[in-house]
Amino acid sequence: MVLAIAFCVYKTIKANKAIEGIEEMLDSAIKGEFSEKEFSEEKISKLESRFSDFLNSSSLSALNVKKDRDKIKTLISDISHQTKTPIANLLLHSELLMESDLTNEQRESLDAISSEAEKLRFLVDALVKLSRLENGILALSPEPCDVGRLIKEIALSMRKKAEAKGLYLNVTEDSAEASFDYKWTLEAVSNIVDNAIKYTEAGGINISLQASEMFVCIIVKDTGIGILEEDIPKIFARFERLQSSKEKEGVGIGLYLAREILQKEGGYIKVKSKKGVGSEFFIYIKR
């Protein structure tokens, strides 16, 4: 009996030691300082050894992910830097040529070049922003901000574009605080308002706020061409453009980027629309 008790105590001490060893491995792995130790051939020690192999594998995977992310970061930076100057030069020389004495045919061709260069600049900028968000290179930093100030700033920057099409752009004077990254949420909501202007030919756009206990909702309502109910899920897909919008400017990434930004902040977007009548976008931001 004494030998049996002693054996049980011995095994318990060995098991506790193994558990302590595993805990040490986990602590080291969390700190990024894990290194392999020597283990015996006992069953408990084999468990430690297998766990060590797992942590080594995980550490290697994490290191590979970090290396891949660094490569992506460098690639994105290179694309952004290397394309910025050529696109800017294309636009600059297009503007200079516009001042020359051109035939109607030459002016039309120049308009097309300028339009495509502008589209290319928007596409590169949008892809760079999206890649940074999706790869975790750029993290959002939500903090308490006034949503009323956000929509006023958007209206101020978009009103000229709306008025150029003969549209009104009304903003309800209101104030409500929520938690969001001001710069990136400005980008997201601006994309939605820009789309509303783009697909509205008569009437205009109303922007208002509606606060609840958990969310502040920005409502962007237009009198545009509207969307078929079955097409609503498609508008948030990357590079997706509906048949009815093919003739409009754009590359089909603005709404996808807007949704990605809002989801990373814990918000979401809902859409209500009727073909030929207009659309309402409900942008929910966490309080």
Q: Is the pLDDT score of 197 beyond 80? A: yes
228 token code pair: 């078929």
* CB neighbourhood size of 1 (10 A): 5
Average of pLDDT values for 52-68? 62
- Tens of pLDDT, residue by residue over 175-192, are 889 999 898 899 889 989
Among 21-35, 152-166, 170-184, where is mean pLDDT lowest?
Answer: 21-35
- Alpha-carbon span 236 to 233, nearest angstrom: 6
219 token code pair: 């409502």
Which secondary structure element, helix H or strand E, spans residue 252, and what is its range?
none
Percent of residues, the chain, with pLDDT higher than 70: 64
CB 227 within 8 A of CB 200: no
- Smallest CA-to-CA distance from 209 within 287, 148, 279 is with 148
Which of 61-65, 95-99, 151-155, 242-246 has the highest mean predicted lDDT (pLDDT)? 151-155
CATH 1.10.287 domain residues, the chain: 1-138
For residue 276, is it left (φ>0), alpha (ψ between -120 and 50) or beta?
Answer: left
CB 148 within 8 A of CB 175: yes
Torsion over CA: 42, 47, 50, 56 (sign): negative
Average of pLDDT values for 153-165? 90
For residue 275, is it left (φ>0), alpha (ψ between -120 and 50) or beta?
Answer: beta
Q: Which CATH class is domain 1-138?
A: mainly alpha
- Tens of pLDDT, residue by residue over 211-226, are 888 999 999 999 988 8
- What is the pLDDT confidence band of residue 41, given thresholds at 50, 70 and 90? very low
Q: Which CATH class is domain 143-286?
A: alpha beta
Residue 192, CA distances (Å) to 15, 209, 235 in order: 60, 15, 11
CATH 3.30.565.10 domain residues, the chain: 143-286
- Alpha-carbon span 86 to 92, nearest angstrom: 10
Helix axes 182-198, 147-164, angle to 10 degrees: 30
- Tens of pLDDT, residue by residue over 66-115, are 666 666 666 666 666 677 777 788 888 888 888 888 788 888 888 888 87
CB 84 within 8 A of CB 122: no
- Alpha-carbon span 102 to 111, nearest angstrom: 12
